[in-house]
Structure 1
């Protein structure tokens, strides 16, 4: 027969409370220091900590959230929110976890291919196609950027350019893209150019004359692109390199020559896409040798 539980308003020693909450006293002291779960009373003379039975539910919730590897600071923020808002915050956290794990999974595939020397087999999973792209009028931003800075630059610059295209340049007529004029890595800073195709060339030139972010307006010549389509998880660096290498290998096999800077073409809503949704084309302009 189970022993009777103390009332929720009764003070419990840290040992008794730890047993009920299924936590160690050490964890309870840590949660107190982090502002997650403070004792209801601390005896000034002895320093002994006492908790109330009503705090058990919060303690067990912290334990469950920790099993999701949620950082303590984020748990503290979540627990201060109303229930429905906290539930949405938890869902948002888990989406970031799923995206990270999906990216790590593709990175493992990339590394296994390199470590086993089976790069050619790794390339076979990428479907390669060619597409003819007509001449385009674009507005753009040009930046020297390292790999860890690149996602922020792409997101911010394409956001500004898409807004300008809609409001000042007659609208967006094709998928935005980023061109790379040299390698972008942790040691090499490109440069890279974010581009948005627009409808009104004259309005685009007028916009470029007054833009405060170094914006440009120019014509991109018609070209033939060799491209492969990748998922959101595959966009992360360095696993995106597998897609680039697959396209380059196919171009060499076909006896073609790369005729300009490579591109990442972002044709999908990035924020709405899941880790396994296709969002981007990796493409090279080509010509016959």
Structure 2
């Protein structure tokens, strides 16, 4: 055996990882010893493995899953730029999740303390008049945890189809015809306004019942709405925005004139957690 190899105890001291952690990382393929004695089972490491070991330890302090650590460390062996990009992508997701959790915590504090009116005051509610629109739509019964993926996919399909129907003429939106939660499955309706009603009707006939696709004309209506950031869109954080608009409508002596909706006016992928992306709205009269 090479005399330059370090015992697991000596390597643990240099790398700032416990022997228990080193055994775990060996089993997971994150940090294999340079040599394992067949007779005793003792693990030995090279001194040049210390850098990798410390990287693993630091990434664990970011609460990065072991599978992601393996990807970053492997990339770092040959391509530091890619490894850095992988870490940046992971951390962007962490910051987005923390921003959403912060919004949820604020919402829950308001509910638990009975300060609902104070909480609603954080939302600026306005009205806007929307003209009559020809809509290409998809409808689906879905629970809250499945909703974000379905919204992305359905609006993507509709916007692609709209290219053959005169193009998109307004912000896409989702209408909630009944509650969507972990217990209630809606339905929800994804809607994209288009220019060519005849072409849209032909598209709908060709689709049959696929995805509950159809075309409808929505009459002109007035919406009461509040604008929210990307971090506020997740369920149940978004409930505070819906409740704030409902409270404002009641205070103004207005009546709800249809199901609530979310209007998406920004590029979701390009937006940061605090960037405005969505209007939470109710038709009113």
Alignment of 1:62 onto 2:60? no
Whether the 8 Å CA contact 2:99–2:273 is kept in 1: the answer is yes
2:258 alignment counterpart: 260
Q: 1:243, 1:284 → 2: CA distance?
A: 11
Q: CA deviation at 1:10?
A: 2.5
1:107 alignment counterpart: 104
- Residues 67-92 of structure 1: CA distance to partner in whole angstroms, max 9, x if unpaired? 11101111012222222111111111
2:206 alignment counterpart: 210
Alignment of 1:134 onto 2:131? yes
Work out which of the residue numbers 163, 168, 179 in structure 1 matches 2:175.
179
2:40 alignment counterpart: 46
- Structure 1 runs (4+) deviating above 3 angstroms are none
* 2:174 partner SS: strand
1:117 alignment counterpart: 114
Q: 2:199, 2:83 → 1: CA distance?
A: 46
- What are structure 1's unaligned runs of at least 5 residues? 1-6
Alignment of 1:78 onto 2:75? no
Whether the 8 Å CA contact 2:140–2:212 is kept in 1: the answer is no
Alignment of 1:153 onto 2:150? yes
Q: 2:112, 2:274 → 1: CA distance?
A: 24
Alignment of 1:19 onto 2:13? yes
1:36 alignment counterpart: 30
* 1:130 partner SS: strand
Q: TM-score, normalised by structure 1?
A: 0.95
1:4 alignment counterpart: none
- What are structure 2's unaligned runs of at least 5 residues? none
Size of the aligned set, in residue pairs, is: 279
Q: 1:79, 1:63 → 2: CA distance?
A: 11
Whether the 8 Å CA contact 2:167–2:194 is kept in 1: the answer is yes
- Residues 77-120 of structure 1: CA distance to partner in whole angstroms, max 9, x if unpaired? 22222221111111110110000000000000000001100000
Q: 1:165, 1:148 → 2: CA distance?
A: 27
